[in-house]
Each structure stands twice: as structure tokens, then as C-alpha cells.
Amino acid sequence: MNKSTLTFFLVLIFGFAEIFGQGNFGTSLHKTRNGKPTWYNTANGGFETLTGVPIDGLGCVQCHDATDANGTAYTDPYTPNCVDCHATNSSWAVTQDDCLGCHSREKAIIGMNIPDVHRTAGFTCISCHKKEELHGDDGVEYASMFDTGAITTDCSNSGCHGGSDPHANLTSNPDPHGGKVHCTSCHASTNLACYNCHFESQVDAHLKRPQRQITGFMILVNRTKDNTVHPATFQSLTYQGKTWIAMGPSVAHTITRDNARKCVDCHKNFGGSIPAIEEYNSTGAIKFATWNTDTLNWKKGIVPLPEDYESSFKIDYITYNGDPSDPVQYSKNWSLVSDQSDGFQLLYATALTKDQMSKLGMTGITGVNDTKNQIPSEYRLNQNYPNPFNPSTQISFSIPQSGFVELKVYDALGNLVKQLVGEQKEAGSYDVEFNGANLSSGIYYYQIKAGNFTDTKKLVLMK
């Protein structure tokens, strides 16, 4: 048998082994590409709520690189397949470039030369993320990589860090958080976000046009799948004068071993100087990003997401003044739209609780103060927390004078789902629990009527 024939049979054998070893690939996220629809669709309270443009009209449902792993240019229509990652014309090997062709944020971090202890040691994506996970061997069709079970590899179970508690053997430096804070909250040097995508460019020309990618910050949330404090990133967008921000528990691979954050980097009450916390304590808000004519400035360091984030976390939304079909490149040809969010989507995470905020020295002018015994100065209906929720959430409201109060929940068609309050109330602040255990996932609305005051807000049940 000559060498070329032997090579053919080896490729054939290992190729079939690779194929038959991933019988559940059809349910894997690499095949279904469910992540973007989950984020975008109206059913989950996504950006489609404001745009009215179905995701099929965006040209980005099933993203891919310019060429497949064989180096062949993709054609339209495109169907996710093995060749996206595996060089089927040779050894079926998967390279780092194959991964980075789709995972553009990690590609950007590497391009910025931001160090990571794993890359320094020669690790690649598949050093930690095993094929069983990537091929969907468990046969479960997940909605997102943030679903519990979708990505099982984590710092504590990677096989590199000493079991479930990487600090267990560090008697001189034990984990001060008792497992309540994810490793990356301290050990990731920065996160990365796409600041303000111009959605007209996506809709009209299928071009992704952010103003820029930003680093140097670390937003902190509670990750729902393990209830740990975890870094979050976001994507902000504008479309036809409407503004939107979507945030979730994600972190860039910028891990440092010896230069992790110290107590004073996060805790103002430990003597730290943290701009985001200081601003929140003095104004009750965090202005994360500010646009000055043609210059963007944003908060650096730790940025805890406060409990009242939908009103207190602010950014300047901007729009591109050029043509949607212009080449995508850095430009200052942007202008301010607003610093108010028409929609704030927090997926697979919740904001920090009052207790967590207090531990960071984050008091705010209204954030964690007990106002139950104080007379409010105005009528107010607050955003429910958490939101999205499953199955219960808290709704709070304030009334400055006694009177009859109605608080009702409606479905998306305007049908009454439940009356939470319908009685005379004294002046004060109130919390009401709404339980959606018997309801389907989707968008609901709650409305208060008190005297001449009426207000309505949206809540999202996500099971």
C-alpha cells in the first residue's frame, strides 16, 4: 500500500469516527445557532420588540467566517455543518482560527494583545472546551450557551485548578468569598463590549457597525445558572431613534494569575476608590459611557450593576450619520440620540442585591436606604426585580398620599392575568410579589392606578 493510499484510509477511518462520535450534533448550538434568535426575538423581550424586523431579515441568523475550514468560500444559503470547524479535506483537525472565525470578541481581545495566562501557556479554545460539549453529546437543544448545561467547562471543573474550590489548597490565601463570587470576577483583567451598533446598517446592508469595541471595565452581575457574582458584557444599539441595551454574563479570556483584583479594587468600604460606586453614591446613577461631540469616554474598573439598573445605569446612545452601506471602519461621524434606554434586556443574570451592594459600600442616594417609614414625595411604579424572572418577581410602588390603589398584570394581548392590589392604601412605599408559575413564558405588563396617576411597565417571564 503506497503512502497516498494509506493517508486516504486513515482520513477515512478517523473521519467516520469523528462523524459517528457526534450523533447529537443536530441539537448542538453549533448546528442550531439558537443563541442570536434567543437574544433578539420578541418572545424573550429582545430588540425585535422595538424594531419590528424579524431576525430572518438581518442576514445574521447563522453567522460564519468568509471561508470554511477547508478554505472554501461560503455560498448562500448557508447550512451549519462539520466543515465549519473541521478540515474535512485533510486531517479533520480544528484550529484556533476556525474558532475565532465566529467568536469575534475573543479574536478582538487577541488582536489587542491583551494577555491571558492560558494563551501564554499555549492553550487554545479546544484545550478546555472538549468536543463532547461542542458536538452536543448530551442531546439537549439549548436556547443559548448561557443555559445551564450548554457549556459545562468552567474554572472549577477544568481539571487544572484543583477541583471545585481552586483556593482549597491555598491556606495562606483562601477564597474570601466562600464560592459566592466567580473566579473571573477577580482574575479577568478586563471585559470587552461592542459599543452602540448602528442597526440601520444591519437591516439595510447586513453590515455590523459598532462605534467601537471598548475594554478596561468589569460589570458585575449575578449569573443565574450558578448564582455567583460574574462579569457581564453588553451590546448597545440604536434604530430609527430608538435605544436598547442587552446585557448578559460573559467574560473575555483575559485571565491573570498573579495580578488578581484586591479588596480595595471592588470595595469602597474597604478604602477603595471606585468611580462607578462613588458616582452612584452621590447621584443615584451610573453614567457608564458619555459621548462628547466626537469622543467617547467610559467607566473603567469595577462597575456593579445596581438593583435599580433600569433607571440608574445610563449610557449615551449615538447614531451613525453616514450611509448604512458605507464601509465599516472607525469613524467619528456619529451624533447623540439620548441617554435614556427604551429597552434594557438582562439575560441569564440578575442585578446585584441590596445586600451585595451594601457589602461593596454602594449605598446610593436611594439605592439601599430603607424608605418604608418615610412618606414618598411622588407617585412611582418601579421596574420589577428580577426581570426577566422565573417564577416570581417583586414589584414596588410609592404613593405620596392615601387613596385607592389598583395594581394589575396583563398579557401581551391586554387580557387581565391577575390583580395584585385593589384596596385603599396609606401613603408609603410597598412591595408586592407576582408569581408566574402557572403562566407561559413571554412578555407581560403591569399597571398601577392611584388617584390621577397611571403607569405601565413590562416584565418578562422566562422559563
So what's the pLDDT on residue 165? 56
Residue 59 forms part of a structural domain:
no
Residue 49 forms part of a structural domain:
no
- Pair (271, 392) in one structural domain: no
- Pair (190, 304) in one structural domain: yes
Residue 242 forms part of a structural domain:
yes
pLDDT in tens, the chain (463 residues): 554 454 444 444 444 444 444 568 889 998 998 988 999 998 888 999 889 999 888 876 666 778 888 889 988 777 888 888 888 888 788 888 888 888 888 999 999 999 999 999 999 988 888 888 888 888 999 999 999 999 888 887 656 765 555 565 554 556 778 889 999 999 999 999 999 999 999 999 999 999 999 999 999 999 999 999 999 999 999 999 999 999 999 988 999 988 999 989 999 888 889 999 999 998 889 999 999 988 999 999 999 999 999 989 999 999 999 999 999 999 999 999 999 999 999 999 999 998 899 889 898 753 333 345 568 889 999 988 888 888 888 899 999 999 999 999 999 999 999 999 988 898 988 889 899 988 999 999 999 999 999 999 999 998 8
Residue 238 forms part of a structural domain:
yes
Residue 90 forms part of a structural domain:
yes
- Pair (365, 384) in one structural domain: no
Domain finish residue from 344, 369, 394? 369
So what's the pLDDT on residue 144? 92
So what's the pLDDT on residue 22? 54
- Pair (199, 274) in one structural domain: yes
So what's the pLDDT on residue 295? 92
- Pair (68, 121) in one structural domain: yes
- Among the listed residues 196, 194, 197, the one whose alpha carbon sits nearest the alpha carbon of residue 58: 197
Please, which residues bridge with residue 245 across strands? 236, 344
Domain finish residue from 324, 340, 369? 369
Radius of gyration (C-alpha) of the chain in whole angstroms: 24
Handedness of CA 343, 235, 147, 84 (dihedral sign): positive
- Pair (189, 337) in one structural domain: yes
Residues 136, 145: contact at Cβ < 8 Å?
no
149 sits in the region (left: phi over 0; alpha: psi -120 to 50; else beta) called left
CA angle (199, 201, 204) in 5-degree steps = 105
For residue 304, what are the CA distances in angstroms to 19, 311, 368, 433? Answer: 45, 14, 14, 25
Q: For residues 84 and 78, what is the distance between their CA atoms, to the nearest angstrom?
A: 11
Q: Backbone phi, then psi, for 343, in 5-degree steps? A: -155, 140
Residue 248 forms part of a structural domain:
yes
- Pair (362, 392) in one structural domain: no
- Pair (217, 294) in one structural domain: yes
Instruction: Give the alpha-carbon dihedral of 77, 83, 89, 92, to 10 degrees.
Output: 180
- DSSP class of residue 203? H
- DSSP class of residue 72? P
Please, which residues bridge with residue 418 across strands? 409
40 sits in the region (left: phi over 0; alpha: psi -120 to 50; else beta) called alpha
The domain total for the chain is 3
- Pair (361, 388) in one structural domain: no
- Pair (362, 389) in one structural domain: no
CATH number, residue 410: 2.60.40.1930
Domain finish residue from 369, 396, 416? 369
- Among the listed residues 18, 208, 13, the one whose alpha carbon sits nearest the alpha carbon of residue 131: 18
Residues 229, 221: contact at Cβ < 8 Å?
yes
Q: Domain range for residue 12?
A: 1-32+64-162
- Pair (199, 135) in one structural domain: no
Buried b (16+ CB within 10 A) or exposed e, 409-418: beeeeeeebe
Residue 14 forms part of a structural domain:
yes
Residue 199 forms part of a structural domain:
yes
